[in-house]
Chain A
Amino acid sequence: MIVSFGRVIKFSIQDIYRNIWLSLVTIIILILALFTVNMLLVVKVVGDAAVGAIKDKIDVNLFLKNSAEEDEIDALRVKVSNLAEVKEVSYISKSEALESFKEKHRDNAEILEALRELGKNPLTPSLVIKPKDLEIFDDLINHLNTFDDEIIESRNFTNYKLLLTQINNITDKVTRAGYLLSGIFIFITILVVYNSVRVAIYTHRRQITIMRLVGASRWFIQMPYLLSGIIYALVSIIAIMFMFYPFLSLLQPYLETFFVGYNINLIEYYYGSILTIFGVQFLAAAVINMVAAYLAVRKYSRV
C-alpha cells in the first residue's frame, strides 16, 4: 500500500510534467482565482475597518452656554442619559475642551498663537453623547431636538449614518462584484482543471490501456489524476502566499494614510493567521480540483 502510494505520487508528478505547459496554464488560472478570492477578503477587512473606525468616532455634541449652572447641566445630563438610545454621556467642561483642543492642535503654531492672542477661552462646555446603536441614531437626534433647554447653545448632529450607509453600500457592491468574479473564476478553474486532466489522460491513454491490461486496480489508474488536482491546488496556494505579501505591502501605506490614527494592518491580519486563511483556501481549492479531476477521470479513463 505504501509502495503504491509512493508510485501514485510519482505518476502524478510525471503526468503534470509531461504536459508542463498545460499544467502551468492551469496553475496560473488557479492563482488568478485565488487572487480574486483574496481581494474579496481584503475588501471585507478594509470595509469592516472603515466602519469600525467611524463607529468609534460617532458622537453627538450638545454645546452649552457659558453661563450654564452646574445643577442645570447635571439635570440635562440626567435627562439625556435616560434616553433609551444613549450609551453614555460625558460632560466636557470649558477648560477640558480647551485642553483637548490644544492637544489636538499642538503641532499647529498658528492656531495656538491665535488662541493666546485671544487671551481667554473661546470654547464652550459641552455634553458628548455616544449613541447605543446606529440603527436608532435618527430617534436619538429627534429626541435631542425636542430638548429646548435654556442652556443649550447649539447642537452638532453630523449625519454619520449617511456616511456609514455609503461605506456599507460601497463594500456591499464590491463584495457582490467579488463574489461574482470569484464564482466565474471558480467555474473557469473547474473547466480548466477538467480539461487538463482530460488531456493528461489522453496523453497517457496508451499507458492506461496497458495498466488496465496487466491488472492495475482502478484506484491506481485514477488516483494520480485526482492527486494532480491536489498538487495544482498546493502549488498555486504556495504561489499566492508569496505573491500576496508584496501586494499587501504595496497597499498598506495607502490604508494607513486613509485611516489615520486607526490601527489597520492587513499584513498582520493575513500573516498572523496565515495557516488558517491559506489552509482553508487550499482545502477549498483541493476539493474543487478533485471534483473536476474526478469528473474527467470518470468520463475519460475507461480507454
Chain B
Amino acid sequence: MIRLYNVTKIYSKNLKALNNINLNIKHGEFISIVGQSGTGKTTIVKTLIGEEKVDQGKIVIGGWDITNISQREIPVLRRQIGVIFQDFKLLNKKTLFENVAFAMQVCGGQARKIKKIVPHVMKIVGLESKMSRYPQEVSGGEQQRVAIARALVHRPKILLADEPTGNLDSLNANEVIELLLRINKFGTTVILVTHNREIVNRLKRRVLTIDDGYLISDQAVGKYIL
C-alpha cells in the first residue's frame, strides 16, 4: 500500500529530517509511529501527502509513484488520503455539518451527494445529533471526531493521524483511538503518529520508532521504547 525506498529529506545543510527510511505498509494495517519531538514524524506525514518533496529515495502509494508528484496531481492524491492533526483544523464559523460538507463542496461534490454522505460519516463518528452545533460548542474529542468525519468523506484508503490526541484528555483520547480502530476495521489503513506511551502499549499493533530522522525500530506488536 505504502512503500518508502531510501527516503531522505533535507531541510537545510545540517538538518536531515529523514535519513534513508525504508518502509512497507500493507493494506489494512494499523501502524503507530513514535519518537521524540523533532525527530521527523510529521515530516513523514507531509511527504506522504505531497506537502514536502523528498530529496532522495522514492515513495509509492497504491502503486502510484508520488516522489515527483506535480502540483496538479496533488489534489487527486489528497482525496485518497485522509489527514487529521492535533489542532483539529475546523472552521469556527461553520457548523459541524458545514465543516464536513465543506470538504466535499471544495472538491466539486454534488449537493445531493453531500446531503447523503455527510450525515453518514457523522454517524460513523457518533455525532449525528450535534451536526448543527459550532466547533466551540462541542468538546475537543468531538471536534477531533468531526475532523475524522471530514477526512472520511472521500472514502480514503489511508488515514493519517498526526498526534490526534495531543490536545485531548485521556477519556477523549481513548474515544478517538477507538474510532480509528473501528475505521481500520472497515479496511482503511491507519497511520497514527503519537507521543502517548499508554495508547501505543495498549494497541498491541505494529510500531515504528523514529529517532533523529532514522527508523530505529519496527516491531510487529510494538511497545513504546524510548
Q: Which 8 A-B pairs have the closest CB atoms?
A: A215-B78, A216-B106, A215-B79, A214-B103, A215-B75, A4-B108, A217-B75, A211-B106
Contact A210 B89 (CB under 8 A): yes
B102 within 8 Å of A by Cβ? Answer: yes
A118 within 8 Å of B by Cβ? Answer: no
Contact A213 B83 (CB under 8 A): yes
Closest to B84 in A: A213
Question: Using a CB–CB distance below 8 Å, which chain A residues touch chain B?
Answer: 1, 3-4, 7, 206-207, 209-218, 220-221
- Chain B residues with CB under 8 A of A217: 72, 75, 107-108
Kindly state the separation between the CA atoms of A213 and B109 in the bound complex, as whole angstroms.
16
Closest to A216 in B: B106
- Chain A residues with CB under 8 A of B24: none
B219 within 8 Å of A by Cβ? Answer: no
Chain B contributes a number of interface residues (CB within 8 A of A) equal to 25
- Chain A residues with CB under 8 A of B71: 218
Task: Report B127-160 residues with CB < 8 Å from chain A CB.
Answer: 150-151, 153-154
Give chain B nearest CB distance to A132 CB in angstroms: 65
Contact A210 B105 (CB under 8 A): no
- Known contacts A215-B154, A217-B75, A218-B75; is-contact A209 B89 (Cβ 8 Å): yes
Q: Can you list 27 pairs linking A and B with CB atoms under 8 Å apart?
A: A3-B108, A3-B110, A4-B108, A7-B105, A7-B108, A206-B91, A210-B89, A210-B91, A210-B102, A213-B49, A213-B89, A214-B78, A214-B79, A214-B102, A214-B103, A214-B106, A214-B107, A214-B150, A215-B75, A215-B77, A215-B79, A215-B103, A216-B75, A216-B106, A220-B106, A220-B107, A221-B106
Contact A213 B78 (CB under 8 A): yes
Contact B76 A215 (CB under 8 A): yes
Give B55-88 as 1s and 0s: 1 = Cβ < 8 Å from A's Cβ atoms. Answer: 0000000000000000110111111000100000
Partner of B107, one of A206, A215, A218: A215
Kindly state the separation between the CA atoms of A217 and B109 in the bound complex, as whole angstroms.
12
- Chain B residues with CB under 8 A of A7: 105-106, 108
Kindly state the separation between the CA atoms of A62 and B111 in the bound complex, as whole angstroms.
86
Give chain B nearest CB distance to A251 CB in angstroms: 48
Given contacts A212-B78, A214-B102, A217-B107, 20 further A-B contacts (CB under 8 A): A3-B108, A7-B105, A7-B106, A206-B91, A210-B91, A210-B102, A213-B83, A213-B89, A214-B106, A214-B154, A215-B74, A215-B75, A215-B79, A215-B107, A215-B154, A216-B106, A218-B75, A220-B106, A220-B107, A221-B106
Kindly state the separation between the CA atoms of A218 and B76 in the bound complex, as whole angstroms.
11
Kindly state the separation between the CA atoms of A215 and B150 in the bound complex, as whole angstroms.
12
- Known contacts A214-B154, A215-B79, A218-B72; is-contact A206 B110 (Cβ 8 Å): no
Partner of A1, one of B72, B76, B108: B108
- Chain A residues with CB under 8 A of B106: 7, 211, 214, 216, 220-221
Give chain A nearest CB distance to B51 CB in angstroms: 8
Kindly state the separation between the CA atoms of A1 and B108 in the bound complex, as whole angstroms.
7
Closest to A2 in B: B108
Kindly state the separation between the CA atoms of A218 and B106 in the bound complex, as whole angstroms.
10
Partner of A220, one of B77, B78, B108: B108
- Chain B residues with CB under 8 A of A207: 91
Give B89-115 as 1s and 0s: 1 = Cβ < 8 Å from A's Cβ atoms. Answer: 101000000000011011111110000
- Chain B residues with CB under 8 A of A210: 89, 91, 102-103
